[in-house]
Chains A and B, each alone.
Chain A
Amino acid sequence: MRKALIWLPLVLCLAFVGLFASGLFKPDDRVIHSRLVGQPLPAFTLPAAASDRPALASAQLATGKPRLLNIFASWCVPCAAEAPQLDALKQAGVEIDAIAIRDARPDVDAFLKRNGNPYARIGLDARSSVQIALGSSGVPETFVIDGKGRIAYQHIGDIRADDVPMILDRLKDAQ
């Protein structure tokens, strides 16, 4: 009995090491997914963020045709890296709207001049309140919105070149 007790701590320790190892090497699933996927967009109205694009309201996103809602900011480095992919999606006939987070109109104008402007409408979310309502936790993020104004898919982080076909598939599925 006493003999067994002496070795018990070692057994426990090895069990914990096994547990930690299984936790370390499991496939990474730490992305925060919005609980709003499958739900209608929360209602919002935002002022225009750029001087040559109209403002954005949630009602304008239910147009019968699936579209993208891109969350970006002029101060965000990955957002600039994402610009060519958004452009490619626009070339493929996708309608893209955007929300600029914690931004100022001159900064957004400069950003769009530098990186191209694939957006139809851009709303300014100066205090991130709409971003939080959408269940988004950072920039950039992209939502696929179906024709009825429901969120069909949430893409966290920048859209890479090899994500583009997948996004197009999602848009087709959301038809």
Chain B
Amino acid sequence: MIAETGLAALWLAAALALLQLILAFAGLKGGKTELLAAVRPAAVAQGVLTAVAFAALITLFMRSDMSVLLVVTNSHSMKPWLYKFAGTWGNHEGSMLLWVTVMGVAGAAVALFERALQRNAHMATLGGQAAISLGFYAFLLFSSNPFARIDPAPADGQGLNPLLQDPGLAFHPPTLYLGYVGLSVAFSFAIGALLTRQVDAAFARAMRPWVLGAWVLLTLGITAGSYWAYYELGWGGWWFWDPVENASLMPWLAATALLHSVTVLATRDALRAWTVMLAVVAFSMSMVGTFLVRSGILTSVHAFAVDPTRGSFILGLLALYIGGALALFGWRIGSVREGAPFELVSRETMLVINNLLLTVILGLVLIGTLYPLMTEAFGHKVSVGAPYFDRIAGPIALALMVAMAAGPLTRWRKDQARAVCKRLSLPLIIAILVSISLSLFAWGRIGILPFLGLVVAVAVGVGSLAPLWKRKLLRTPLFTYGMVIAHMGCAVSLAGMACDSAFTVEKLVAARPGDVIQTAGWSIRFRQIMPIAGDNWTALQADMDASRGGSSVVIHPQSRFFASPPTTTSEAALLTRWDGQLYVVLGEEVEGGRWQLRIWWKPFVTLIWLGGVMIALGGALALVGRERRGWLMKWRAREALA
């Protein structure tokens, strides 16, 4: 019954989405208020129904209901409960259901809480949101029904990809999805604004919290995904430039640009066309990412189901929505009046530079990701590796960091170049001092990019504090703190990346139990190797004592074997210290009872993810700050009236 309830809820929600689209369209077209009045209740009911459908699927997974095909193929009654729960969205159908659920709930939230938009723009936005949802409902109901039954029901399920049996990954996809779908709201806002010809500061102020929220979640999702890949895949790196990783990075780059340009539009009423374009591009990148991941069109370390039928369905949606939005853009944007003018030296210009650099990085990552596909269309097979991305994205990212430090020190509308340089003098002096001391310490031993990265990281770290300089700290608005922390986070991340690539020490040895390995100031005693059994796996586990200076710590790198489906994963042993991480991987047995061990000492590598969390925290503070200010102003206005 639960499966049927879920399916019924899904069909009803789809019907309501269609109704919502028709009501909004007909109401706006004929100026019929009574039709428009029904749009918001439809959106709310649709959100509730999607939540019911998703709750039904969670229940089926938690109960291990083996009469449901999706549960059989993705779960197992012996699985720990957390992974039964996470198994709900750790597969194609479940993740698409999560997608429409988040879209439905977000649509309901737009219907209930959005107050800044004019009524027509608000209704057009809800209509747009319904139109996007409809495509995904059709996708679920016609090509990937999560509630399909299987008869006769098998005795037990077939398990979940063991790589996915990790608490980090249980919550990483939903975080990213919330981000992706948050961008769908921004997209709907842009459509609504174009349809009603209301591309202005009010539109930007209404869209900004959605963009900020989506961006915070995307940042958290990417940070968590990067840390997961780092400790779970056992290769010691933190970013692989894998198509699936790029699929989340590209929307983030677009959302970062959008976040900054929407601020320009909200505060200064400039960059109208550009902001609308970025809102379309940001959600397009979410859809392109979903398409790349779900169609299996590119080969990736992440094994997802390869299915051209589903791929062509998403491709159809992509062509329809993005193509449609861009056509609407071309048709309507000519009638949108350009906003307020600004001088060449101004905060606006700095933000345009930031936007252009982000867009260039986005374009280069997109080309790199799709290049194998392009060459294959002409008959060659080529793969684009990390060196391409490092070499092209690295220098532009450094330039972006410099612009990031200078931006907040420049005034809106008009500023003096000389004054800006003067404000930038402290970071500049620090950059020079760091380069000199780093040259003395490590010249010739580290590459040029890590070298510049460290210099820029320190200078930007100091420079990003400058907006707080000579201000009353208690009266500084929360969103200013948010900006400072987010920019600081970028510097911290950059410092971590530069340290990791400049100073990592790697050692590959074949060791026997009893051996002691010395590397990077650590001494690691390999005591023994033992088989152990876990919930649904067996493993070979090494016991080692790692010591540096005084006391020693026991670490246990493992090589895990999962029976269903048969897969081996390696569980790296990580030892975190204030100045870095020791990373030990147990490899294959080689002749003579010796075992391959990979040992890395990675100085300050944890800064990468600390920075990511700071960036997200900064975004969250800015969001709270902006919203609180809005409420306060409204409340004061009401008090004044009373």
Interface residues of B in 262-316 (CB under 8 A from A): 273, 277, 280-281, 284, 288, 291, 295-297, 299, 306, 308, 311-312, 315
- Point out the residues of chain A lying under 8 angstroms from B329, CB to CB: 6, 9-10
Looking at the assembled complex, report how far the CB atom of B135 sits from the nearest CB atom of chain A, in whole angstroms. Answer: 15
State whether the Cβ of B48 lies closer than 8 Å to any Cβ in chain A: no
State whether the Cβ of B318 lies closer than 8 Å to any Cβ in chain A: yes
The answer to whether A24 touches B308 (Cβ under 8 A) is yes
CB < 8 Å neighbour of B277 from A9, A14, A16, A73: A9
Complex CA gap A128/B318 in Å reads 42
Provide the main secondary structure of the chain A interface: helix
State whether the Cβ of B333 lies closer than 8 Å to any Cβ in chain A: yes
- Point out the residues of chain A lying under 8 angstroms from B308, CB to CB: 24-25
Q: How many residues of B contact A (CB 8 A)?
A: 37
Q: Residues 97-117 of chain A: 1 if any B CB is under 8 Å from the residue's CB, otherwise 0?
A: 000001000000000000000
- Point out the residues of chain B lying under 8 angstroms from A73, CB to CB: 566
State whether the Cβ of B323 lies closer than 8 Å to any Cβ in chain A: yes
CB < 8 Å neighbour of A6 from B299, B334, B376: B334
The answer to whether B315 touches A20 (Cβ under 8 A) is yes
- Given the known interface contacts A6-B334, A24-B311, A24-B312, the answer about A19 and B295 at a Cβ–Cβ threshold of 8 Å is no
The answer to whether B589 touches A127 (Cβ under 8 A) is yes
State whether the Cβ of A30 lies closer than 8 Å to any Cβ in chain B: yes
Total number of A-B contacts with CB less than 8 angstroms?
70
Complex CA gap A21/B308 in Å reads 10
Complex CA gap A15/B570 in Å reads 41
* In the complex, residue of chain B having the shortest beta-carbon distance to the beta carbon of A76: B566
- Point out the residues of chain B lying under 8 angstroms from A21, CB to CB: 312, 315
* In the complex, residue of chain B having the shortest beta-carbon distance to the beta carbon of A2: B334
State whether the Cβ of B112 lies closer than 8 Å to any Cβ in chain A: no
* In the complex, residue of chain A having the shortest beta-carbon distance to the beta carbon of B314: A20
State whether the Cβ of A64 lies closer than 8 Å to any Cβ in chain B: no
Interface residues of A in 1-38 (CB under 8 A from B): 3, 6-7, 9-10, 13-14, 16-17, 19-26, 30
Looking at the assembled complex, report how far the CB atom of A12 sits from the nearest CB atom of chain B, in whole angstroms. Answer: 9
- Given the known interface contacts A13-B323, A17-B318, the answer about A23 and B377 at a Cβ–Cβ threshold of 8 Å is yes
- Point out the residues of chain B lying under 8 angstroms from A14, CB to CB: 319, 323
- Point out the residues of chain B lying under 8 angstroms from A16, CB to CB: 288, 370
Interface residues of B in 350-378 (CB under 8 A from A): 370, 373-374, 376-377
Q: How many residues of A contact B (CB 8 A)?
A: 24
The answer to whether B315 touches A17 (Cβ under 8 A) is yes
CB < 8 Å neighbour of A129 from B327, B334, B588: B588
Looking at the assembled complex, report how far the CB atom of A138 sits from the nearest CB atom of chain B, in whole angstroms. Answer: 10
CB < 8 Å neighbour of B323 from A10, A30, A129: A10
- Point out the residues of chain B lying under 8 angstroms from A26, CB to CB: 376-377
- Point out the residues of chain A lying under 8 angstroms from B376, CB to CB: 23, 26
Complex CA gap A75/B565 in Å reads 10
* In the complex, residue of chain B having the shortest beta-carbon distance to the beta carbon of A10: B326
The answer to whether A13 touches B322 (Cβ under 8 A) is yes
* In the complex, residue of chain A having the shortest beta-carbon distance to the beta carbon of B374: A19
- Given the known interface contacts A10-B330, A13-B326, the answer about A24 and B566 at a Cβ–Cβ threshold of 8 Å is no
- Point out the residues of chain A lying under 8 angstroms from B296, CB to CB: 30
Interface residues of B in 10-64 (CB under 8 A from A): none
Complex CA gap A127/B273 in Å reads 59
State whether the Cβ of B421 lies closer than 8 Å to any Cβ in chain A: no
- Point out the residues of chain B lying under 8 angstroms from A10, CB to CB: 323, 326-327, 329-330
- Given the known interface contacts A23-B376, A75-B566, the answer about A13 and B315 at a Cβ–Cβ threshold of 8 Å is no
Interface residues of A in 74-122 (CB under 8 A from B): 75, 102
CB < 8 Å neighbour of A20 from B291, B563, B588: B291
- Point out the residues of chain B lying under 8 angstroms from A75, CB to CB: 563, 566
The answer to whether A19 touches B373 (Cβ under 8 A) is yes
A-B contact pairs, 26 of them (CB 8 A): A3-B334, A6-B273, A6-B330, A6-B334, A13-B284, A14-B319, A14-B323, A16-B288, A16-B370, A17-B319, A19-B374, A19-B377, A20-B297, A22-B377, A23-B373, A23-B376, A24-B295, A24-B311, A24-B315, A26-B376, A30-B296, A73-B566, A75-B563, A75-B566, A102-B566, A128-B568
Q: Which 10 A-B pairs have the closest CB atoms?
A: A10-B326, A17-B319, A23-B297, A7-B330, A23-B373, A6-B330, A9-B326, A24-B311, A22-B377, A24-B308
